[in-house]
Structures are given as C-alpha cells and as structure tokens.
Amino acid sequence: MLVQTILALWRFNDVKSEFVKVVDVYNVRMQLVQKMRVISRERAPILFSMVSTDDAFEIDDLKSEFGSLGSSFLGYRNKLIATNLSDQEQKLLDNHREFARSIVPGQRRVVELIEEGDYSAAQDLLVKEVSPNQVIALSKLDDLITFESISSQKAMNKAKALFDTTRRYLILATLLGVVISIAIGVFVSVRFSHFIKTLKKNKDDLEITVAERTKDLVKVNKQLQHLAHYDTLTGLPNRSSFLGHLTQGMKKMSSNNKGLALLFIDLDGFKAINDDFGHDYGDEILRQVATRVEETLRNDDVFARLGGDEFTLIAQNIIDSDNNTAVKIVADKVIKALSQPFNILDAQCHIGSSIGIALYPNQTKDLDELISFADTAMYAVKRSGKNNYKIYDSSMS
C-alpha cells in the first residue's frame, strides 16, 4: 500500500510538471508572439499615414514611431528566442524573420520616396508590394501562434492521460487499502481535478486568443484595402481607384453604345489659402469641395481626388448632342458649387475651379489619350482666365 501511494504521488508530480510546462513555457511564448504580432499590425498603417500627409513634422513623428515599434518587436523576439525554442518553433520564427527581412528594403524605399516628395510612387509601391507582404508577414506569425496552441494541447493531453492512469491505479489501491489510502486518493483526485480545470481554462483562453487575432487580421486587411483605394483626407476614390473606375466606365459605355465625359478639375486660388491660413484651412477646403461636388453628381458619376487640389469627375451615360449640353450642365453645376464662399472656423474663403473636359468615344477611345486631352483642356482654361470650363479640341495641343 505504501509503494502504491508513492507511485501515485510520483505520477502526480509528472502531471504537475506537464502543467507547469504549459503555464510557464507555452503561455510565456504565446504572449511574446502575440505582442510581436500586435506591433507588426500597428506598423502597417503608419506607412499609409506617411503617404497621406505632406507635413514634414508629422512624417518625422511617424518615422520615429515606425522605428520605435521595430525596436520593440526585436526586443520581444529576443525574449522569445531565450525561452529555448524547439526546432520546429525556431524554424517557424526563422521563416518569419527571413520574410520580414526581405520586405525591409521595400519599406525603406517607401520612406525614401516620401522624403523625395514622390507620394504617388510611394503609394503605388506600398499598395502593390509592401502592404501585401506585411499581411503575409502577419500570417507567418499566426503560424507560430497556431503551433504554440497545438503544442499546448498536446501537453494537456499528456497530462490528462497521466491523470487517467493514476486515477485508475488509485481506485485499485482504494479497494485494497484502508482509510489512509482512501484519504490519499481523495486528496490527490481533488488536486488533479484542480489542475485539469486550470489546463482546460488555459486551452480555452488560447483558442479565444487565436480567434481574436484572426478577426483582427481580417479587420486590418479591410482597412488596408480601403487605404489602398480611397483618399484618407476626403474619403473620395484615389488615383488608383479613379483609373479602375475609368477603365470599367469606358468598357461599359462601349458595350452600351453610349459615351462618357472625363472632367479634370483644378482649384483656383487654393495655394494662396494654404499660404495665408495654413494647411488646416486648406484641408478643410478640400473636404468641403468633396462634399459640395458629390451633392451635384448623378447616380453613375464618379468623383475622385488625384492629389493636392486636383480632382476628376467621370460622367457616364452622356447623351450625344451637337453642343454637348449634358456635359456643360455637369460642368456648370461644379463651377457654381465651388464658386460659393467657404466658411472655415473664423474665416471666409473664396476659390474657383478650372475644368478641362474630354469625351469618350467621340474624341478618343484610348484611356491615356483621354486623360491627356482633359488635362490639356484644363490648362487651356487656366491660361484663358480660370474659373471656367473648356471641352478639348485639337487646337489646344
């Protein structure tokens, strides 16, 4: 009976050892990996914020924050390595480290382009290469989180198996023993039950954490997709989205034997407002411009911001006529809307708009040529007195 009791207590120590392994090792690793993932997720939108601002001080702050998060990430990774990872864990961590190292040049190039003032190229590189790679890097951290969860489950299963064997052994000892054996059995059983409940709670917590991280990843992906296609200041489609809408509109009009008009809109007097009142006033002007023009749009029209004070309007389903009446009505509405005074905080500002118009397919069926015609017509308006519109003709080239 004494031997049986000693063996039971020895098995109890084995289960306790497995429990400590799960709580003190896997939990610590899980927390470190989760912190690494949170930092990686927080770094992703910073580059988009840098692309979306031309404020040098704000860019410096964002660069500093980007670098600080990178240093924190390295600190947590070194702590994770110090926990004596298994070969598989080390392999998963190395996979993430190698991939993360491969996307660093792209991130640096985005920052260089921003410093050079080439926001368009920076945004293009960010959307097409850097941002998708950041999402992949997050998924590689998720692979490590999943592995830690599975390893924790295996350790809990092992502890449970040891518990089940010991419990059967104690039942036999109880049948053969006396009151002392019964007391020992009850004591050990209670302790074992407590440990199993703790292990189960730990497993449930890990599963909830993995589910939350997966949900966060989906949310971040949606945010990145939105940042890739919409202007952060006005909420309008950006240059990339505008090109997509124009391509689709041209195909749609071609199949329906109808036409569209492309309007290039440049604000008159906007630079003076920025210089006299500051960028905060200028940003508010741009937001109000977006609101006013959108109120004049028809259902199929698309209004987008290319950058700075340059906007485009795609007017679809334009009915052909000798004097392009429908196009002129659209342009007149925009000019009228933007000619009204803008009330911003304690100041009243006035701007105008110069609009160049090109017609598809009447003037061209080529996308790049259509854009060039509208741009040329817009500059013709600038030269002839501003705050007006012109439809492109060959004499402007």
Q: Which of residues 49 and 75 earns the better pLDDT score?
A: 75
11 falls within a domain: yes
Q: What is the pLDDT of residue 320?
A: 65
Identify whether residues 178 and 256 lie together within a single domain: no
Identify whether residues 218 and 293 lie together within a single domain: no
Identify whether residues 279 and 357 lie together within a single domain: yes
Residue ranges in the chain assigned as alpha helix (H): 2-20, 27-51, 56-81, 87-116, 119-125, 131-176, 179-229, 239-256, 270-277, 279-296, 325-339, 367-383
Taking residues 152-165, report their average pLDDT.
Answer: 75
Q: What is the pLDDT of residue 334?
A: 97
The lowest-confidence range among 151-160, 281-290, 310-319 is 151-160
Identify whether residues 46 and 140 lie together within a single domain: yes
Residue 305's nearest CA partner among 120, 90, 81 is 120
pTM comes to 0.50
Identify whether residues 257 and 349 lie together within a single domain: yes
* pLDDT of 351 above 70: yes
Share of the chain above pLDDT 70, in %: 88
Q: What is the pLDDT of residue 97?
A: 86
With beta carbons less than 8 A apart as the criterion, state whether 18 and 152 touch.
Answer: no
At 165-210, the pLDDT tens digits run: 777 776 776 677 667 778 878 887 888 788 788 878 887 887 887 7
Q: What is the pLDDT of residue 390?
A: 96
181 falls within a domain: yes
With beta carbons less than 8 A apart as the criterion, state whether 305 and 290 touch.
Answer: yes
Q: What is the pLDDT of residue 23?
A: 59
Tokens describing residue 218: 């989906």
Asked which of 229, 248, 264 is the last residue of a domain, the reply is 229
Average pLDDT, the chain: 85
Q: How far apart are CA 141 and CA 43, in angstroms?
A: 14
Q: What is the pLDDT of residue 148?
A: 79
